[in-house]
Amino acid sequence: MSIEENPQRWCIGLIGYGEVGRILAEDLRARGITVQTYDVKLGTCEDAAMRKHAAEHAVSLQGSHADLAACADCIISAVTASQTVAVAQACAHGIRPGGWFLDFNSASPGAKQRAATFIDDAGGRYVEAGVMTSVPPYRIKVPLLLSGPHASAFAPRINALGFAATVCSDRPGVASATKMCRSVMIKGLEAMVLESLATARHYGVEDAVLASLRETFPSIDWERQASYFFQRVIEHGRRRSEEMREVAQTVREAGLEPWLATGTAERQAWIADLADEGLFGSREHHDFARSEDWRVEADRILAHLAKKG
């Protein structure tokens, strides 16, 4: 059986070795799959943590996008949204003829289509993925929507490696459009909950607000959900803000002015700035953005604002 017909013999190349990349690496290696990776942050202050994780899981490190592409049967791009097209362009210089390129990134349909052009023109096979919920709880089984002309051929191969992918269209951009429209709601809800409850905390009315939310939406545990939203925005606000700028572009491409998406991007970026300043503790510490009570983080934000005011 050829490597093409047996994905278990593939070498998977991960572009981006952050949270998502490391989760995929762990789960693929647990299945005996060969994994190599490249991240532009190698050689920076994050180098040591990346190398430690790679060594622990027998993941090989490459020195460039092209080097990784040249040795991978399937490349998975899991980077920040703003780098979607640049990564595809960089990998196109080394991609093998017929090599697969799975784009995990939260970018607009237009950005995905530009990325596809680089890969396909270089002789590779680009497949667009829409990651339809948060990766950590599901890990490699996170629900994926695939689209593009190569999606149907790719789905059974990637699922043989443990993924949970379904094909939604043979047209490029469809998976991304689905993901982006979902993010208007999900990332917007994160920003709204953070803004609403931090403000309510300032006025001392948070219990009344939460009681009203429970009455209107009784199926949601608002205390637990609020703490989760605060954690995720604080920890991943930068990535979320970039995604929401891509969401805004998606809305523009539909002919609408993206007022809500833009506002969400600004709120997520604002929290990311505070996190970078150390307001929520050091990222190296286990308790960073890990409070079980959203009020702890809200009080930090309010205390910060009080000092500035």
- Alpha carbon 49 to chain centroid, angstroms: 19
User: What CA–CA distance (Å, rounded) separates 267 from 240?
Assistant: 10
Q: Between 47-56 and 19-30, two packed helices, what is the crossing angle to 10 degrees?
A: 10
Query: Is the pTM above the cut of 0.75?
Result: yes
Whether the predicted pLDDT of 290 surpasses 90? no
Beta strand 125-131 pairing with 143-147: antiparallel
User: What CA–CA distance (Å, rounded) separates 106 from 131?
Assistant: 8
DSSP three-state, residue 156 = helix
Q: Are 272 and 237 in contact (CB under 8 A)?
A: yes
Q: Write the DSSP symbol of residue 218.
A: T
User: What CA–CA distance (Å, rounded) separates 301 from 305?
Assistant: 6
Domain 176-308: CATH superfamily is: N-(1-d-carboxylethyl)-l-norvaline Dehydrogenase; domain 2 (1.10.1040.10)
Return mean pLDDT, the chain: 94
What would the pLDDT profile of 228-243 be if each residue is shown by its tens digit?
999 999 999 998 999 9
pLDDT at 292: 85
For the chain, give every residue range classified as CATH 3.40.50.720: 7-171
Q: Are 268 and 187 in contact (CB under 8 A)?
A: yes
Would you say how long the chain is, in residues?
A: 309
Q: Does domain 7-171 have CATH number 3.40.50.720?
A: yes
Question: Which amino acid belongs to residue 106?
Answer: S
For the chain, give every residue range classified as CATH 1.10.1040.10: 176-308
What proportion of the chain, given as a percentage, has pLDDT over 70? 97
